[in-house]
Homo-oligomer: A and B are copies of this chain.
């Protein structure tokens, strides 16, 4: 890919969380049950924090962004959000809209700087990543000359891990034998700015529990509108206890503007709960 200007690297880069989300999606398990099964199979470590909070994926996307964009990106610059808050309801509603939920690492090389994040995302069921299940990982790379490329393989389990480590050792051995260590050295010769999460833009999937009375949808929609958040799709459902559930997918919006709207919602008496928001690819 050396002849390309790479503009995006993204994908599923943690096998443990992908296994957990696949179990939740295909077998209707809740998070705790799926985590227990992942631990039993040796995918999740005794302390699963680095996997389920997105730290492991964050370290990987930092390395990939550094190589792809020729500029050092460190883990501390990566915005990370894990899968511990994803519920069976989120997965069910996403499916109704034609999406599946995956933990994605996303790095973009924009004119105003590098964007690098790890968080759960809704991706369309027809996207090639939507069918990357269980402990499989897959990475998409976009370059100006080559267009899109994808690489997929198992990202957890003792034999696939051993296979990857052995490949690296053999590569080092070949370099030693031919005395060409450093043949491909550090390529971070640029010093690009890494954007703060608030400066980046996303589409959001948002679930709100509100009082079920006339004018509430208009009320909520106007808060979003006043903060520059435009609505792409909305579904309203009645729930028990005089509550209405609003499920909203927004157009792309600057994250700080979206957060401003969430702050307003928290102060409104008609809004009983922000049940969750998940970005949309």
Contact = CB atoms under 8 A, between A and B. Distances in A.
Interface of A: 1-4, 126, 128, 131, 136, 138, 143-154, 157, 159-160, 162-164, 166-167, 170, 174-175, 178-180, 182-184
8 contacts: A3-B162, A146-B164, A149-B153, A150-B152, A174-B184, A178-B178, A178-B180, A178-B183
A175 B128 CA distance: 35
Contact of A160 (B147, B153, B162, B175): B147
A153 B148 contact: yes
Contact of A163 (B3, B128, B136, B166): B3
B145 A162 contact: yes
Contact of A1 (B152, B167, B175): B167
A184 B178 CA distance: 10
Contacts of A138: 150
A183 B149 CA distance: 26
A146 B150 contact: no
A145 B167 CA distance: 11
A133 B145 CA distance: 18
A256 B170 CA distance: 43
A34 to B, nearest CB: 21
Given A4-B163, A136-B148, A144-B159, 10 more contacts: A1-B163, A1-B167, A2-B167, A2-B170, A3-B170, A146-B159, A146-B163, A148-B153, A150-B151, A174-B184
A3 B173 CA distance: 13
Nearest to A151: B151
Contact of A3 (B144, B166, B174): B166
Contacts of A164: 146
Contacts of A144: 159
A32 to B, nearest CB: 28
Contacts of A175: 180, 183
A143 B163 CA distance: 9
